[in-house]
């Protein structure tokens, strides 16, 4: 009886050991969708190609999903990552969370990079990759738009002890490719207070970026401004420099630029005469966007212009804006702009501010 019990125990231990070895060899790749559905698991594996995730089940059938449908992903076997800059890494413990690909590398240790920097994630070693997915869970991708842009309109009127009205209109168009980006802007502002004109300005600008790498670019820009209230009959500002994308995530983005700008200006003097002047400025600028949630976004543009020809010249501009999405095309916006010039025309304050509210139409 004792001998029989020993054999049963030995047989049981052997079965447990076989099960442990078997389970450890089974892939447990898992992907969770934003809809709450979970795919993958035992005997299946997951990899990515062409900007999509492919889930292959035990029978070899595959399903392809776009990354925008995925909430998180965990891959248990060692993988090879391919990056936009051409680098490759052999890593372990690959996971996708909140738009970041996290992994362990013998070379780099624990690391996290934005999803858009990763071109492909290989399947586990020894797994046969299907030549093509047998079923595709999405519509064929539509070709990207050549142009994208937005227009903004706002109007405010007050009455009572002091009557005032203000209107602003602006438009922006951007055409971006892998190597270039062209931005065009136009804006007009008008306001009255106590029956007298208080705001009257129009400006247009264009900017061309030539990308040397995915992040670094050269830029050329040109701006035109007319502001009768601040006695600027015409301002012309061509510039050139270099820029870099520091952060390119879904929630945060940050770009910085450094260069030089020449400002030619024709000012209206107190007695109606006009005076022309030109000055070279250094230029340091930054653009920051923060997606606060699914329906709101905050952006900040900062430009600092120290004088190069004369140490007395200094200019500064800050543009802040908060937008709230109403529909796919329509948003509400509130903005605040601060302009500073330490050597303005006579009778014009050094600091001017402009607050705007209105609607944004995206196209």
Q: What pLDDT, on a 0 to 100 scale, did the predictor assign at position 8?
A: 41
What is the pLDDT of the chain when averaged over all its residues?
Answer: 82
pLDDT the model gives residue 74: 86
Mean pLDDT of 104-113: 82
Question: Cβ(167)–Cβ(359) under 8 Å?
Answer: no
pLDDT at residue 143 greater than cutoff 70: no
Q: Give the angle subtended at the CA of 315 by the CAs of 313 and 320, to the nearest 5°.
A: 175
Q: H-helix or E-strand containing 34?
A: none
pLDDT band at 142 (very low <50, low <70, confident <90, very high): low
The pLDDT, as a whole number, for residue 160 is 63
Of 36 and 78, more confident: 78
pLDDT at site 124: 81
| pLDDT above 70 coverage of the chain, percent | 85
Query: 84-111 in b/e burial notation, b at 16+ Cβ within 10 A?
Result: eeeeebebeebbbeeebbbbeeeeeeee
pLDDT digits (tens, 9 = 90+) for 336-351: 999 999 988 777 889 9
Q: By mean pLDDT, which of 2-11, 279-288, 313-322 is the weakest?
A: 2-11
Domains of the chain and CATH, by start: 2-136 (no CATH), 148-362 (2.40.160.40)
**Is the model's pLDDT at 19 over the cut of 60?**
no
The tokens describing 107, both together, are 């070379």
235 vs 11: CA distance, rounded Å: 90
**Nearest CA among 120, 117, 26 for reference residue 82:** 120
Among 121-135, 162-176, 304-318, 320-334, which range has the highest average pLDDT?
A: 320-334
Q: What does each C-alpha distance from 263 to 70, 205, 260, 301 come to in angstroms?
A: 49, 13, 10, 19
> Per-residue pLDDT tens for 248-283?
887 899 999 999 999 999 988 767 788 888 999 999
Token pair recorded at residue 333: 């916006």
Pairing of strands 180-193, 196-211: antiparallel
Question: Would the pLDDT of 25 be above 90?
Answer: no
Query: Each residue of 81-104: pLDDT tens digit?
Result: 788 887 888 888 888 888 888 888
Instruction: Tell me what pLDDT residue 130 has.
Output: 64
Q: Is the pLDDT of residue 26 over 50?
A: no
State yes or no: pLDDT of 125 exceeds 90: no
HEC secondary structure over the chain = CHHHHHHHHHHHHHHHHHHHHHHHHCCECEEEECCCCEEECCCEEEEEECCEEEEECCCCCEEEEEHHHEEEEEECCCEEEEECCCCEEEEEEEEEECCEEEEEECCCEEEEEEHHHEEEECCCCCCCCCCCCCEECCCCCCCCCCCEEEEEEEEEEECCCCCEEEEEEEEEEEEECCCEEEEEEEEEEEEEECCEEEEEEEEEEEEEEEECCCCEEEEEEEEEEEECCCCEEEEEEEEEEEEEEEEECCCEEEEEEEEEEEEEEEEECCCCCEEEEEEEEEEEEEEEEEECCCCEEEEEEEEEEEECCCCCCEEEEEEEEEEEECCCCEEEEEEEEEEEECCCCCCCCCEEEEEEEEEEEEC
Which residues fall within 8 angstroms of residue 302, CB to CB, at 6 or more apart? 285, 286, 287, 288, 317, 318, 319
216 or 86, higher pLDDT: 216
Average pLDDT over residues 140-151: 71
* Alpha-carbon torsion (82, 87, 90, 94), positive or negative: negative
7-11, 178-182, 198-202: segment of lowest average pLDDT: 7-11
pLDDT one-digit tens code per residue, 5-17: 444 444 444 444 4
23: confidence class by pLDDT, cuts 50, 70, 90: very low
pLDDT in tens, 217-252: 999 999 999 998 888 899 999 999 999 999 988 789
DSSP 8-state code for residue 78: -
- Tell me, what's the pLDDT at 184? 96
pTM: 0.60
Q: What is the pLDDT of residue 244?
A: 96
């Amino acid at each position: 009886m004792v001998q029989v019990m020993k054999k049963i125990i030995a047989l049981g231990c052997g079965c447990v050991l076989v099960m442990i070895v078997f389970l450890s060899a089974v892939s447990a790749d898992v992907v969770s969708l934003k809809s709450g559905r979970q795919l993958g698991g035992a005997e299946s594996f997951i990899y990515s190609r062409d900007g999509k995730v492919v889930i292959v089940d035990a029978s070899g059938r595959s399903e392809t999903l776009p990354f925008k449908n995925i909430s998180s992903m965990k891959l248990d076997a060692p993988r090879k990552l391919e990056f936009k800059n051409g680098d490759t890494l052999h890593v372990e413990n690959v996971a996708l969370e909140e738009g970041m690909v996290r992994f362990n590398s013998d070379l780099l240790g624990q690391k996290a990079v934005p999803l858009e920097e990763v071109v492909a994630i290989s399947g586990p070693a020894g797994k046969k990759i299907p030549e093509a997915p047998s079923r595709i869970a999405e519509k064929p991708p539509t070709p990207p738009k050549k142009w994208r842009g937005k227009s903004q309109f706002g109007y405010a009127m007050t009455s009572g002890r002091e009557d005032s009205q203000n209107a602003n209109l602006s438009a922006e168009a951007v055409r971006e490719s892998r190597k270039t980006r062209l931005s065009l802007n136009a804006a007009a502002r008008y306001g009255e207070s106590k029956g007298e004109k208080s705001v009257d300005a129009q400006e247009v600008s264009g900017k061309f970026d030539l990308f040397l790498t995915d992040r670094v670019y050269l830029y050329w820009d040109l701006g035109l401004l007319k502001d009768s209230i601040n006695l600027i009959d015409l301002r012309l500002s061509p510039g050139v420099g270099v820029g870099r994308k520091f952060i390119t995530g879904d929630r945060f983005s940050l770009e910085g630029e450094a260069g030089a700008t020449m400002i030619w200006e024709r000012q209206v003097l107190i007695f109606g005469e006009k005076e022309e002047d030109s000055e070279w400025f250094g230029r340091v600028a930054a653009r920051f966007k923060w997606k606060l949630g699914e329906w709101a976004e905050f952006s900040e543009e900062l430009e600092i212009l120290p004088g190069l020809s004369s140490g007395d010249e200094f200019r500064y501009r800050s543009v802040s804006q908060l937008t709230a999405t109403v529909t796919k095309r329509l948003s509400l916006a509130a903005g605040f702009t601060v302009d500073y010039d330490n050597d303005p025309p006579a009778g014009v304050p050094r600091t001017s501010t402009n607050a705007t509210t209105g609607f944004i139409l995206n196209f």
